[in-house]
Amino acid sequence: MNYLGIDPGQKGGFAIVGDKVEVLDLAKSTEAEQAEWLLSRAMGIEFAVLEKVGAMPKQGVSSTFKFGNSVGFVRGLLVAMSIPFARVTPSKWKREFSLLAPKKTKTQKKNLDKARAQELFPHVPKITHNTADALLIAEYCRRVRT
């Protein structure tokens, strides 16, 4: 069984964990490529978790709109492909991996996430900040669904 983790946004990623481990960096792919990637793997996906995030403080209107558009696009793909999914907050999935670090900067937190993903998936050739959270979200999904 395969589980899909999605960190939405332009600097996010898709990750599948289960029979195989695969990642897609959203910053390096078009929406058409994202849809094609997901469509070619949809039949083997048992369940997906889409990170439940909102606008960030001091984020501009344009950035907030782009982010919301990205989340809507991904939700639409999941619905159209009949992939069951849940939305989970970062604090919920990060707790599973002991990654709640309130006194760290955003970069320090991203580095912790990346290090944990590399620890759990040493065979994945190149884990980036864009794909690390998606891998952890997919692993969270696998753990709570099995």
- pLDDT tens-digit series, residues 102-114: 888 889 999 999 9
Task: Please check whether residue 25 is in contact with residue 11, taking contact to mean a CB–CB distance below 8 angstroms.
Answer: no
Average pLDDT rounded to a whole number, residues 118-127: 95
Question: Of 55, 58, 47, which Cα lies nearest the Cα of 1?
Answer: 47
Question: Of 1, 9, 89, which Cα lies nearest the Cα of 45?
Answer: 1
pTM of the predicted model, to two decimals?
0.92
- Predicted confidence at residue 96, as pLDDT, reads 96
Q: Judge: domain 2-145, CATH 3.30.420.10.
A: yes
Report H helices in the chain.
Answer: 31-39, 61-80, 90-96, 106-120, 129-145
- Predicted confidence at residue 7, as pLDDT, reads 96
Question: Is a pLDDT exceeding 90 seen at residue 138?
Answer: yes
Report the C-alpha gap between 44 and 16 in whole angstroms. 10
